[in-house]
Amino acid sequence: MENQNYEPIKKVSIIISKGSLVDVYPGLIMANGARMEGIEASLFFTFFGLDAIIDKRMDKLKVPTVGNPAMHMASILGIIPGMSAIATMMMKREMEKLDIPPVREFIEMIHDAGAKLYACKATVDMFHLTEKDFCEQVDGVLTVGEFYEISAGAQIIYT
């Protein structure tokens, strides 16, 4: 679609604030897509979104069943122990069929492609975390103001 008034996106800043598997992947997919298109990308992980970059948690993200309206019937069944684990296993299997990598590998790929990954300082302090808690791809812990400085001129995407 050719549009004479079209200004291509040059830079995106993606905020990931939730830590379930279904909440983290959209931001990772968007960041990966941006880098594949030559668009500068920064990711800012805040609140429970930090689970995606905490070394001991990033491989254990789950699919929520209770309170997830998109799960339809599974939401009702979600109160049964083990339903979240089953939903998580099924989703990971489907993602694998589509060649979508696990979170840790996806984070590595995105970082290797030039995206920057940042943790929110206020959340890091609130959860009593240190930089040692994060995977090695995290480029730093920033205040919101510092993230806004880095994001100057970017499209900000909140997932």
DSSP sequence for 22-70: HHHHHHHHHHHHHHHTT-EEEEEE-GGGGGGTBTTTTT------TT-GG
**CA 86-87-93 angle, 5° bins:** 90
**Tens digits of residue pLDDT in 86-142:** 666 676 676 777 677 889 999 999 999 999 999 999 999 999 999 999 999 999 999
Check residue 128 and give its pLDDT: 97
- Mean pLDDT score, 68-76: 53
User: What pLDDT sits at residue 159?
Assistant: 86
According to CATH, the topology of domain 11-59+102-158 is Hypothetical Protein Ychn; Chain: A, (3.40.1260)
Greater confidence (100 vs 67) lies with: 100
Is the pTM higher than 0.75?
Answer: yes
From residue 101, alpha-carbon distances to 47, 66, 69, 93, 127 in Å are 23, 25, 25, 11, 28
Task: Report domain extents, the chain.
Answer: 11-59+102-158, 61-101
pLDDT for position 82: 63
